[in-house]
Chain A
């Protein structure tokens, strides 16, 4: 039973355009959501997060949107750059329950020149 779902295994976007990565979750008790980025042969690195009390969080080119009623979040990257080519993992946790962070399967983003 996958509690965090990333239904697009891969996504290709032209350099300079907007990349939108989507994530759905099933556990309504999740109260903190994160995006991690992973390059080959490296561990995942934290990118951006959002608490369930917010619906948007922005950090430079990266914005995460949360729609709690739809149990959906998305990561927008504007403008997309070649260095953004990586695997992006959506993750979620119940901060006040335990320390288990649940990850999705990831979406591989290709930025095309």
Chain B
């Protein structure tokens, strides 16, 4: 059974640029959530995708967007990067079968983004 994988693991961008982060969900999982973890903070919910549609969003601006593909993999796109976007971006998958998610998420190792 393959776990959640994310790419790239590290990347450096400059302010104003755009970035795409990728995530492959664990086998059999149809739901993908993205979290941002800034230094010294807990993971903050960005959004979740279920059946290729956004299914819940946290308090992040529209320049944070995402996609989910038919194979349940997902992308997180961030436009017009700001210095405060520097963080660890975590992808998590779960085998959601109906409304409500008990939150037993399976996380990848994360993509560490540095914005200069």
Contacts and interface: CB of A to CB of B under 8 A. Distances in A.
In this complex, the interface size class of chain B, counting residues with CB under 8 Å from chain A, is 20 to 34
B109 A99 contact: no
Given A43-B4, A105-B40, A99 B107 contact: no
A98 B99 CA distance: 8
B42 A100 contact: no
Interface string B38-65: 0011111100101000011010000000
B105 A46 contact: yes
Interface of A: 4, 6, 32, 34, 36, 41-46, 49, 89, 91, 93, 95-96, 98-106
Interface of B: 4, 31, 33, 35, 40-45, 48, 50, 55-56, 58, 90, 92, 96, 99-110
